[in-house]
Chains A and B, each alone.
Chain A
Amino acid sequence: MKRGAFAVLPLAAGAAVYGFAFGLLASQTGFPWWSVGLMSAAVHAGSSQIVAVEQFGDGTAVMSAALAGAALNLRYIGIVASLSEILRGLSLREKLLAIHITGDENWALTMAERARSPHVGAAFLIGSGLIMLAVWTGSTTLGAVVGSALPDLERFGLGFGFTAAFIAMARGLWRGRPDAMPWFVAFGVTTAAVLLGAPKAYAIVVGALTGLAASSIVRRSRATISQ
């Protein structure tokens, strides 16, 4: 467990900066500092939290904001499924703890270390996960404390921070040319829907579904070409 805790420290430092920025933004949308810490400990999913808080601050209904955030977490179905071998032999309670503290960083680190040494397992995952959860919760809370003591930063452009964060996330999720057409369609349909007066939450759903349809067409045509 100690090995995982020490190995993840460089990644935790990066997450701390990101967490501080999120805490700052969340406090400026009206979240008390302690609720930001509570959210980070209970949710433990950075991109989901950012999306949900941005949507909530934008006036979107609570359920729509939460579901938009949760949808970003769908990748965890695959991430947790890939841990089945590592989690084998643990009690159900330990498994539930392990999957809650699993994030992108400590999952990737555990898988990479395990590829080099098969002895790396649940203890490494849990040790690194506990550090990540503590650092994420602490840094977001600290950001919110600082943010709540500052005046309204919207006029200094801080509100654009969410959009910039989404652009950075998109860059991280880009997988190459097959994404181009579905992303272009999703962007265009969402923009058109908002300009036509649709509420943003619905525009996002319509855009994402249209993007999925475009992706299905791209996949089918690629499969046809490769046959």
Chain B
Amino acid sequence: MTGSYWLLIGVLAGAAFSIRVFGLFAGDSIRKSRHAWMLDDLPGLIIVCLIASSLAGQPMETWIAAAIAFAVAVLTNHVILTMCAGVVTYAGLVWFAL
């Protein structure tokens, strides 16, 4: 394992714990500030951007698998079912194309 793996784990652990400690000491005042809505909005926006960056420029099979995964997510709101549906669809389309 190279230093970059250690760095990722270290920075992520440090950031995750710092956010929790920040919440412990300053959470109440942050929640009452006029910018509190950003804390609520940012997680969803980042996830949407991650989906967009994963799909941009990808072949049709990826978009179809994403559409199937999206439909399963809407219907079930279940992470594992959505992952299974997406992976199986993607694998099926890629193998079928071969």
Interface residues, chain A, with chain B CB atoms under 8 Å away: 17-18, 21, 30-32, 35, 38-39, 42-45, 47-49, 51-56, 62-63, 65-82, 84, 87, 95-96, 99-100, 102, 155-158, 160-175, 179, 182-183, 186-188, 190-191, 194-195, 200, 203-204, 207-208, 211-212, 215, 219
Contacts and interface: CB of A to CB of B under 8 A. Distances in A.
Contacts of B39: 74-75, 77-78
Say whether chain B's binding surface is mostly helix, strand, loop, or mixed: helix
A145 to B, nearest CB: 15
Given A32-B1, A79-B23, A168 B79 contact: yes
A105 B43 CA distance: 17
B49 A80 contact: no
Contact of A186 (B24, B40, B48, B87): B48
B80 A48 contact: no
Contacts of B85: 164
B84 to A, nearest CB: 8
A208 B15 contact: no
A106 B66 CA distance: 30
Most buried by A among B24, B49, B56: B49
B60 interface: no
Given A31-B1, A62-B7, A99-B23, A81 B28 contact: yes
A190 B52 contact: yes
Contacts of B79: 18, 165, 168-169, 172
B80 to A, nearest CB: 5
Contacts of B12: 39, 42-43, 48-49, 52, 66, 69-70
A69 B10 CA distance: 12
A186 B45 contact: yes
B53 A203 contact: yes
Interface string B55-97: 1110000100110011001100111101101111111101000
B97 to A, nearest CB: 12
A203 B49 contact: yes
A75 B53 CA distance: 22
A163 B45 contact: no
30 contacts: A39-B13, A45-B16, A55-B50, A62-B8, A66-B7, A70-B11, A74-B42, A77-B26, A80-B23, A81-B24, A84-B24, A99-B21, A100-B20, A155-B94, A157-B87, A158-B87, A160-B86, A163-B65, A165-B79, A167-B66, A168-B73, A173-B47, A174-B44, A175-B44, A183-B45, A187-B52, A203-B49, A204-B53, A207-B45, A215-B45
A163 to B, nearest CB: 4
Given A77-B39, A163-B69, A215-B41, A68 B46 contact: yes
Contacts of A203: 49, 52-53, 56
Contacts of B66: 163-164, 167
